[in-house]
Amino acid sequence: MARKSKKKQVRGIIPRKIKGFRDIDPNLNQLKQQIIENAREVYKLYGFEHWDTPVLEYADCLGKYMPDEDAAGEGVYSFRSPEVEPVYDTDGRDFKGEDGKTVMENAPLAMRYDLTAPLARKYSEDLLSQWKRSQLAQAPKPMLKRFQYGPVFRYEMKLAPGRFREFWQLDFDTVGTDDVTVDAECCMILSEALEAIGMSRDSYVVKVNNRKILKGLLQSLGVDTDEQEAAILRVVDKYDKIGLDNVRLELGEGRKEASGSAIKGLHLEADLRNGICDFLGQFIVEDPTKLPSRKAVLEAIKIDNSIAAEGLAELAKMDAVLETLGFDEERVVFDPTFVRGMAYYTGPIFEVESLLTITDEKGKERRVGSICGGGRYDGLVENLLGIKVPAVGASIGVDRLAALLEMADALPQQEDGPVLITHFDNDFALEYQKIAAELRAAGIKTEVYCGTYKKGGKALMRQLKYADSRNCPVAIMLGSNEHENGVVAVRDLKKGAELSKTVEDKKEWQRLVQSEVKRDELVEFVKKLID
Amino acid sequence: MARKSKKKQVRGIIPRKIKGFRDIDPNLNQLKQQIIENAREVYKLYGFEHWDTPVLEYADCLGKYMPDEDAAGEGVYSFRSPEVEPVYDTDGRDFKGEDGKTVMENAPLAMRYDLTAPLARKYSEDLLSQWKRSQLAQAPKPMLKRFQYGPVFRYEMKLAPGRFREFWQLDFDTVGTDDVTVDAECCMILSEALEAIGMSRDSYVVKVNNRKILKGLLQSLGVDTDEQEAAILRVVDKYDKIGLDNVRLELGEGRKEASGSAIKGLHLEADLRNGICDFLGQFIVEDPTKLPSRKAVLEAIKIDNSIAAEGLAELAKMDAVLETLGFDEERVVFDPTFVRGMAYYTGPIFEVESLLTITDEKGKERRVGSICGGGRYDGLVENLLGIKVPAVGASIGVDRLAALLEMADALPQQEDGPVLITHFDNDFALEYQKIAAELRAAGIKTEVYCGTYKKGGKALMRQLKYADSRNCPVAIMLGSNEHENGVVAVRDLKKGAELSKTVEDKKEWQRLVQSEVKRDELVEFVKKLID
HEC per residue, B121-188: HHHHHHHHCCCCHHHCCCCCCCCEEEEEEEEEECCCCCCCCCCCCEEEEEEEEEECCCCCHHHHHHHH
**pLDDT tens digits for B491-518?**
999 999 999 899 989 999 999 999 999 9
What is the percent of chain A where pLDDT is above 70?
94
Contact between B451 and B421 (Cβ < 8 Å): no
Residue scoring higher pLDDT (B273 or A2)? B273
Report the pLDDT value the prediction gives residue B343, as an integer from 0 to 100. 72
Identify which of A350, A331, A353 has the alpha carbon closest to the alpha carbon of residue A401.
A353
Identify which of A461, A396, A360, A422 has the alpha carbon closest to the alpha carbon of residue A199.
A396
pLDDT of A2 above 50: no
Give the full edge-to-edge strand order of the sheet including A204-210.
A49-50, A144-153, A166-175, A391-397, A370-376, A348-354, A204-210, A332-334
8 Å CB contact of B11 and A143 = no
Identify which of B509, B527, B508 has the alpha carbon closest to the alpha carbon of residue B517.
B527
| Mean pLDDT, rounded, of chain B | 90
The shortest C-alpha distance from A218 to chain B (Å) reads 31
Residues 428-467 of chain B whose Cβ lies under 8 A from any Cβ of chain A: 429-430, 433-434, 437, 440, 443-448, 450-453, 466
Work out the burial of residue A202: count CB atoms within 10 Å of its CB; fewer than 13 is exposed, 13-18 middle, 19 or more buried. exposed
Residue A22 CA to its chain's centroid (Å): 15
Report the pLDDT value the prediction gives residue A383, as an integer from 0 to 100. 86
Nearest CA in chain A to B390: A451
Q: For residue A180, what are the CA distances in angstroms to A318, A332, A348, A375, A390? A: 6, 15, 8, 10, 10
Nearest CA in chain A to B80: A79
Report the pLDDT value the prediction gives residue A67, as an integer from 0 to 100. 46
Nearest CA in chain A to B155: A82
The shortest CB-CB distance from A18 to any of B109, B418, B451 is to B109
**pLDDT tens digits for A391-419?**
999 999 999 899 888 887 766 677 899 99
Report the pLDDT value the prediction gives residue A450, as an integer from 0 to 100. 86
Contacts of A450 in chain B (CB under 8 A): 143, 174, 177, 179, 181-182
In this prediction, residue A531 has a pLDDT band, given cuts at 50, 70 and 90, of confident
A10/A530 Cα distance (integer angstroms) = 54
The shortest CB-CB distance from A450 to any of B13, B79, B182 is to B182
Contact between B149 and B398 (Cβ < 8 Å): yes
Contacts of B189 in chain A (CB under 8 A): none
Report the pLDDT value the prediction gives residue A459, as an integer from 0 to 100. 82
Report the pLDDT value the prediction gives residue B158, as an integer from 0 to 100. 83
pLDDT of B18 above 90: yes
A487-492/A474-477 β-pairing = antiparallel
| pLDDT, average across residues B394-407 | 91
Residues 305-344 of chain A whose Cβ lies under 8 A from any Cβ of chain B: 320-321, 324-326
| pLDDT, average across residues A16-23 | 96
B318/B336 Cα distance (integer angstroms) = 14
| Mean pLDDT, rounded, of chain A | 90
| Residues of chain B by 3-state class (helix, strand, coil), percent to 5 | 40, 25, 35
pLDDT of B466 above 70: yes
8 Å CB contact of B11 and A87 = yes
The shortest CB-CB distance from A56 to any of B33, B50, B153 is to B153
8 Å CB contact of A91 and B182 = no
A440/A419 Cα distance (integer angstroms) = 10
Nearest CA in chain B to A100: B9
Most confident of A276-290, B166-180, B457-471: B166-180
Cβ atoms within 10 Å of A384's Cβ, excluding its own: 23
DSSP bridge partners of A111: A56
Report the pLDDT value the prediction gives residue B1, as an integer from 0 to 100. 43
Residue A254 DSSP SS3: strand
Contacts of A177 in chain B (CB under 8 A): 450-452
Report the pLDDT value the prediction gives residue B410, as an integer from 0 to 100. 65
Report the pLDDT value the prediction gives residue A480, as an integer from 0 to 100. 92
What DSSP assignment string belongs to A206-227? EEEEEHHHHHHHHHHTT---HH
Backbone dihedral angles phi then psi of residue A102, each to the nearest 5 degrees: -60, 130
Contacts of A95 in chain B (CB under 8 A): 9, 11-12
Report the pLDDT value the prediction gives residue A454, as an integer from 0 to 100. 57
A53/A122 Cα distance (integer angstroms) = 8
Report the pLDDT value the prediction gives residue B71, as an integer from 0 to 100. 45
Contacts of B448 in chain A (CB under 8 A): 181
E-only strand ranges, A119-253 = 144-153, 166-175, 204-210
8 Å CB contact of B61 and A16 = yes
8 Å CB contact of A49 and B82 = no
Contacts of A5 in chain B (CB under 8 A): none
| pLDDT, average across residues A173-185 | 95
Residue scoring higher pLDDT (A450 or A300)? A300
Name the DSSP class of A114: -
The shortest C-alpha distance from A49 to chain B (Å) reads 6
Contacts of B157 in chain A (CB under 8 A): 83
Identify which of A343, A527, A370 has the alpha carbon closest to the alpha carbon of residue A444.
A527
In this prediction, residue A8 has a pLDDT band, given cuts at 50, 70 and 90, of low
The shortest CB-CB distance from B13 to any of A54, A60, A182 is to A60
| pLDDT, average across residues B443-455 | 80
Report the pLDDT value the prediction gives residue B358, as an integer from 0 to 100. 77
Report the pLDDT value the prediction gives residue B476, as an integer from 0 to 100. 96
Contacts of A153 in chain B (CB under 8 A): 55-56
The shortest CB-CB distance from A176 to any of B128, B418, B451 is to B451
Residue A527 DSSP SS3: helix
The shortest C-alpha distance from B364 to chain A (Å) reads 32
Contact between A431 and A448 (Cβ < 8 Å): no
CB pairs under 8 A between A and B: 270
Backbone dihedral angles phi then psi of residue A151, each to the nearest 5 degrees: -80, 145
Tell whether A471 lies on the interface with B, counting CB pairs under 8 A.
no
8 Å CB contact of B18 and A57 = yes
8 Å CB contact of B54 and A22 = yes
Write the ipTM.
Answer: 0.91
Work out the burial of residue A112: count CB atoms within 10 Å of its CB; fewer than 13 is exposed, 13-18 middle, 19 or more buried. buried
A447/B143 Cα distance (integer angstroms) = 12
Contacts of B450 in chain A (CB under 8 A): 143, 174, 177, 179, 181-182
Instruction: Determine the residue among B6, B56, B89, B141 to mutate to test chain A binding: the one whose Cβ has the most chain A Cβ atoms within 10 Å.
Output: B56
Report the pLDDT value the prediction gives residue B67, as an integer from 0 to 100. 46
The shortest CB-CB distance from A451 to any of B60, B177, B418 is to B177
Residues 135-174 of chain B whose Cβ lies under 8 A from any Cβ of chain A: 143, 145, 151, 153, 155, 157, 166, 174
pLDDT of B99 above 70: yes
In this prediction, residue A72 has a pLDDT band, given cuts at 50, 70 and 90, of very low
Residues 53-82 of chain A whose Cβ lies under 8 A from any Cβ of chain B: 53-58, 60-61, 77, 79-82
The shortest C-alpha distance from B339 to chain A (Å) reads 26
**pLDDT tens digits for B351-400?**
999 998 877 777 787 777 788 999 999 888 998 999 999 999 999 999 98
8 Å CB contact of A18 and B54 = yes
pLDDT of A85 above 50: yes
> Worst-scoring range by mean pLDDT, B69-78, B145-154, B260-269, B402-411?
B69-78
Amino acid letter, B1: M
Contacts of B8 in chain A (CB under 8 A): none
List of residues 6+ apart from A31 with CB closer than 8 A = A402, A405, A406, A411, A412
The shortest CB-CB distance from A11 to any of B89, B384, B440 is to B89
Report the pLDDT value the prediction gives residue B367, as an integer from 0 to 100. 76
| pLDDT, average across residues B445-468 | 80
Instruction: Determine the residue among B19, B37, B52 to mutate to test chain A binding: the one whose Cβ has the most chain A Cβ atoms within 10 Å.
Output: B52
Contacts of B19 in chain A (CB under 8 A): 83
A314/A329 Cα distance (integer angstroms) = 17
Nearest CA in chain B to A149: B29
Report the pLDDT value the prediction gives residue B492, as an integer from 0 to 100. 96
8 Å CB contact of B47 and A470 = yes
Most confident of A369-373, A502-506, B167-171, B421-425: B167-171
**pLDDT tens digits for B185-225?**
999 999 999 999 999 999 999 999 999 999 999 999 999 89
